[in-house]
Amino acid sequence: MPLSDFAIHAHGLTKQFGQHTAVDRLDLTVPRGSMFGLLGPNGAGKSTTLSMITGLLRPDAGLVTVNGVSVWPDPTAVKAGIGVVPENLLLFERLSAREFLSYVGRFRHMTDESIDARTNDLLAVLDLESADDKLITDFSMGMRKKISLAAALLHAPPLLILDEPFESVDPVSQRSIRQILDQLLDAGGTVVLSSHVMATVEELCDWAAIMHHGQLLRHGPMSEVRAGQRLDDVFAQTIGSDALPPTRLDWLNTFAAEPENRSGAEL
């Protein structure tokens, strides 16, 4: 495929924190118009990878292009064409949901009319209308996710990169978010999401990648990654943890022999 067919193309992407290599010479391609699921256990390097792709964390080595534009020479230009829900939701805590979206829209050079209309739509669809005037500092985790998603969608980006978008979000809103993502996809957009929920990724995504210890272990169309199995089975096999090692947690069987460990006696 020519490079222009990819929404994201990363080559040799590497990031180290001290002695720890969070992402190790990662090669990743995301085709335009795909719904791409990035999977991996905690600490696999998913969020670090997404941060490097979105211009939020400078890689130690490697190249990454987004929509054909190299990210690190000019991250500002790349950010203009993407919507991001990052891992750390750093929001303006002392603004209300509406004010927050209003400022994000201004920073993206949108007209006031457009900001107002889209804010109304997004708050309604994401069930945040009742929190219209509530300060973000008082939001629940799920509401913070939703307002962050609204900010990422406000300028109708062709590429949406979402780090755990369904985490802490109620089922009704999850449904709404899926519909929004489908709509974006139908219009020719691309969505990249990371998630721990296999069922969600299996249902939504047509491309997937599995990361572990900073490396990409599987990568391709969902049908190829699954290879006729359930995604969670493939995931467990890929990262090598499909069963608890029999030698671990042996002490769990010793409760009958050590009743004094659970004594309620005061010292």
Partner 1 sequence: MIDWASARSFIPLKFRTITRTPQALIGLILGLLLGGGMAALGAFALWALRGTEHAELTLALSLGGLAALWLLGPLVLGGGEIILDIRRFGPLPLGRSTIGAGLLLASFVGVPAMVTLIAVGASVTHAASAPVAAFMAVAGLVFVVSVIVASRVVVSFMTLVFGTRFRAAATAVTMLVAISLGAASQSLVYIGQLVSLDDLRALRSIARWLPTSWAAESLALASADRLLPAVAFLAGAVVFVGALFVVWGRLLARHLEGGGAADPTKRRGPLVSPWMDRLVDRRTAAAWARGNRSIRRDPREWAETAAFIPLVLAFSLPALTVIRSASPRLMLVSYLAVSSSVAITTSNIFGSDGPTVVADAFPGDGFKSVLIGKTIPRMVAVMLLVALGTVALAVFTDGWLLLPVSLALITQSGLVAATAGIFVSLRSPIPLPDRVGSLAGNNAGCVASLVRVVTLFSINIATTAWAAPTLTVALLGRPLLALVPGVAMLAAAVWWYRWVAEVEGRRTANRVPELLAALSLRS
Binding flag, residue 247, partner 1 (CB under 8 A):
no
Q: Which is nearer to partner 1, 110 or 234 (CB)?
A: 110
Report, in Å, the least distance between residue 140 CB and partner 1.
Answer: 12
> Based on CB atoms, which residue is closest to partner 1, 10 or 84?
84
Asked if 17 interacts with partner 1 (CB under 8 A), we say yes
Out of 1, 2, 3, 19, the only residue in the binding site for partner 1 (CB under 8 A) is: 19
- Alpha carbon distance 79, 110 (integer Å): 15
Residues 194-233, one symbol each (x = binds partner 1 by CB under 8 A, - = not), give ----------------------------------------
126-145 residues near partner 1, rule: CB under 8 A:
135, 137
Q: How far is the CB of 253 from partner 1 (least distance, A)?
A: 21
Asked whether 172 and 127 are in contact (CB, 8 A), the reply is: yes
Q: Which of 47, 195 has the CB closer to partner 1? A: 47
Q: Does 248 bind partner 1 (CB under 8 A)?
A: no
Under 8 Å between Cβ of 84 and 78 = no
Tokens of 47: 């969020």
The minimum distance between CB 53 and partner 1, in angstroms, equals: 12
Does 57 help bind partner 1 (rule: CB under 8 A)? yes
Cβ 170 vs Cβ 146: under 8 Å:
no
HEC per residue, the chain: CCHHHEEEEEEEEEEEECCEEEEEEEEEEEECCCEEEEECCCCCCHHHHHHHHCCCCCCCEEEEEECCEECCCCHHHHHHCEEEECCCCCCCCCCEHHHHHHHHHHHCCCCHHHHHHHHHHHHHHCCCHHHCCCEHHHCCHHHHHHHHHHHHHCCCCCEEEEECCCCCCCHHHHHHHHHHHHHHHHCCCEEEEECCCHHHHHHHCCEEEEEECCEEEEEEEHHHHHCCCCHHHHHHHHHCCCCCCCCCCHHHHHCCCCHHHHCCCCC
- To the nearest whole angstrom, how small is the minimum distance from the Cβ of residue 251 to partner 1? 17
Binding track, positions 81-100, relative to partner 1; x by CB under 8 A: ---x-x-x-xxx-xx---x-
75 sits near partner 1 (criterion: CB under 8 A): yes
- Shortest reach from residue 198's CB to partner 1, in Å: 23
Q: Which of 109, 172, 244, 251 binds partner 1 (CB under 8 A)?
A: 109
- Near partner 1 by CB under 8 A, which window of 70-78, 120-128, 202-210, 250-258? 70-78
101 binds partner 1 (CB under 8 A): no
In angstroms and rounded to an integer, the radius of gyration of the C-alpha atoms of the chain is 21
**Residues lying near partner 1 in the complex (CB under 8 A):** 17-20, 22, 43, 51, 54-58, 75-77, 79-80, 84, 86, 88, 90-92, 94-95, 99, 103-104, 106-109, 135, 137, 151-152, 262, 264-267
